[in-house]
Structure 1
């Protein structure tokens, strides 16, 4: 929703506080690149400001529903994704007349994405733009109002008024936070009850429901963010094969965002986080994983040369991935496992396996010295 961006003079308003800044940040409309690349992004208590030599743009925090991070990949740096609301207020003049996306992505080319994400999430919780609306710095006041304001700000009474104002602001912030928490807990209970009701109806009318209706019910559960996890009681003898299908559906999207490979330990944490209270054991995870290939699922279990077990996409192009790693090593003159892990966002042990695999294919050659193991482009 790049159409929510508006032109600005870049000046802070009265009541607005600057939080942090970061250079080398580009603006994407959804996943599409824009002309606004490698500028300075600034977070304030009320807005996100972006500027370069030719433009100054703002995005009010009031239109940001939530923010999250997309890890770096082979083709892009880490990104801050802001999902925006479609407000009813008149559109202000800005660089984009319209947009077909529901989000804006800020690509951090020089680092700093994690800190910026943490700070913007804090500001979205505080909602300081509601507690203290900004006032234009160009507003003129009469002499009488100026004199009155000074009388309220001086002396012991002025200090007391200021302290009382701060206490009121803190009280409103804490009260608002607890109200939001209570609403979230209430909605969570309602969502769980809805999911259990739908799951019970599916179980009771299993013979009466068509396959299309079953798929539709399942899509409703997934749209709520709550699925009916596979358990030993519900699946019986088919527990591990059913669990394998569930693992595949959960891990497929995650693997696409993590360069197509994930260690068994990372997958175990992700799966249990998604299942909530219905946790599975490491043995169940491994026993289910061995069924993936025979079921022709889009995810499979792979044992690396070091013995480390990992999940990967079945349609993963091994040679293409290794060639991209070789190209990265060539652009950097040489490459270590630590560097590759930080560059594309994968565990160090997996990065080392990738480099060794590229060496096996003849794309790289190694230099094992007292400074550590490094890989260079194979010129022979």
Structure 2
């Protein structure tokens, strides 16, 4: 759906703000390479803007259904995949007249895909582009002038008006939140129903479609999450078992290790309407090893706490990293993180561990810290 891209002058709209920027980003129509390579990408509260020396285009956030990351491989860097809707409105002029794909891919040649994905997902949830700037009318201008001339009483009246407006906004927000919490249990039930439908009509779906659809269903929530009311004094023990069952599959998809902060976000997204605190997560994690669960808590040498698979073969991981560095001649923590799809701090931990074992050596210069094969 690269035809949803439209030409733009790059000027910010009223109320629009810049969230983040990144260099070295290429555009793909689905998996097809385009002529727009290694440009400058900007995320705002309203859209994604891409530009280079000869072109400048935009993709409104309102047309993005969801976004996800495609991990890097030996032939390509990490990519941000944006599934977009087919618009009903008249098409604006853009670089592509038509497209046979349902998604646009942005390849991050210089890194930064993880942060960009996190920020765009936050904006897709907030939907700040829906907020319309209110232009002052003649009546409000006159009132404002009158209030300005009214002295202290006018200031008090203006403050009270602002408080009333804020109170209405807060009340409206909590009404929406309450409705969402009421519907969360229904969403879990719906996800189970859809899963059963998939099982009944397995022959009508391809394996790729089934796997991808199930991954979306898993993000809807955990059925019957553990609570303090239901588990009582065994809350943290029961929560540890729930964490292990949820994180085991996720860890297999993320090279066997995940930081505590990443796990906290993933668990609360899955639990939906029964959120847990960071203390609950940590108190449950310390029970994992004594319960002989497939997931355990580990403290890295940097002090960062992480989850990892109990059967993880660290020696094998270090050998793979050493071979990867030999293949690439040298690597930084950022490059390893993008290649393996792991946090940068975990990538740095693995590189320094390989260095401590004598497999790698480092070069710490003004260009940053890089690791090379140890030839001595």
Matches of 1:250 and 1:376, distance apart in 2: 33
Question: Is the aligned partner of 1:285 residue 2:288?
Answer: yes
Aligned to 1:190: 183
Moved more, 56-65 or 273-282: 273-282
Aligned to 2:374: 378
2:224 to 205, 228, 240: 228
Question: Is the aligned partner of 1:269 residue 2:303?
Answer: no
Give the deviation of 1:180 after TM superposition.
Answer: 5.5
User: After superposition, where does 1:60-139 map in structure 2 within 5 Å?
Assistant: 60-64=60-64, 82=82, 84-96=84-96, 97-102=98-103, 104-105=105-106, 107=108, 109=110, 113=115, 117=119, 121=123, 125-127=127-129, 130-131=132-133
Aligned to 1:356: 353
Q: Secondary structure at the match of 1:89?
A: coil
The TM-score with structure 1 as length reference comes to: 0.56
Matches of 1:223 and 1:115, distance apart in 2: 16
Contact 2:2 2:99 in 1 (8 A): yes
Q: Secondary structure at the match of 2:57?
A: strand
Matches of 2:178 and 2:59, distance apart in 1: 30
Question: Is the aligned partner of 1:50 residue 2:50?
Answer: yes
The 1:180–1:271 alpha-carbon spacing in structure 2 relative to 1, beyond 3 Å, is closer
The 1:106–1:313 alpha-carbon spacing in structure 2 relative to 1, beyond 3 Å, is farther
Matches of 2:31 and 2:250, distance apart in 1: 16
User: After superposition, where does 1:188-267 map in structure 2 within 5 Å?
Assistant: 188-192=181-185, 195=188, 222=218, 224-229=220-225, 247-253=244-250, 255-257=252-254, 259-262=255-258, 265=260
Aligned to 1:39: 39
The 1:117–1:248 alpha-carbon spacing in structure 2 relative to 1, beyond 3 Å, is same
Give the deviation of 1:42 after TM superposition.
Answer: 3.9
Q: Residue deviations 1:257-312, cap 9 Å, x none?
A: 4x44235x557635753443576623433344x343xxxxxxx6598997998514
Give the deviation of 1:36 after TM superposition.
Answer: 2.2
Give the deviation of 1:242 after TM superposition.
Answer: 11
Contact 1:80 1:117 in 2 (8 A): no
The 1:44–1:244 alpha-carbon spacing in structure 2 relative to 1, beyond 3 Å, is closer
User: After superposition, where does 1:125-164 map in structure 2 within 5 Å?
Assistant: 125-127=127-129, 130-131=132-133, 157=142, 160=145
Matches of 2:44 and 2:347, distance apart in 1: 39
The 1:64–1:132 alpha-carbon spacing in structure 2 relative to 1, beyond 3 Å, is farther
Matches of 1:43 and 1:228, distance apart in 2: 37
Q: Secondary structure at the match of 1:331?
A: coil
Larger Rg: 1
Matches of 2:170 and 2:81, distance apart in 1: 23
Give the deviation of 1:98 after TM superposition.
Answer: 1.9
The 1:190–1:196 alpha-carbon spacing in structure 2 relative to 1, beyond 3 Å, is same
Matches of 2:344 and 2:223, distance apart in 1: 29
Q: Residue deviations 1:150-181, cap 9 Å, x none?
A: xx99xx859749x9xxx999999986775455
Unaligned runs of 5+ in 2: 149-158, 203-209
Give the deviation of 1:184 after TM superposition.
Answer: 3.9
Q: Secondary structure at the match of 1:62?
A: helix
Unaligned runs of 5+ in 1: 134-151, 202-208, 293-299
The TM-score with structure 2 as length reference comes to: 0.56
Q: Residue deviations 1:36-86, cap 9 Å, x none?
A: 222223455644322112322111233245667x59868777766655444
The 1:339–1:47 alpha-carbon spacing in structure 2 relative to 1, beyond 3 Å, is closer
The 1:40–1:367 alpha-carbon spacing in structure 2 relative to 1, beyond 3 Å, is closer
Q: Residue deviations 1:12-58, cap 9 Å, x none?
A: 38747563673514234567654422222345564432211232211
Cα RMSD, aligned residues only: 6.0
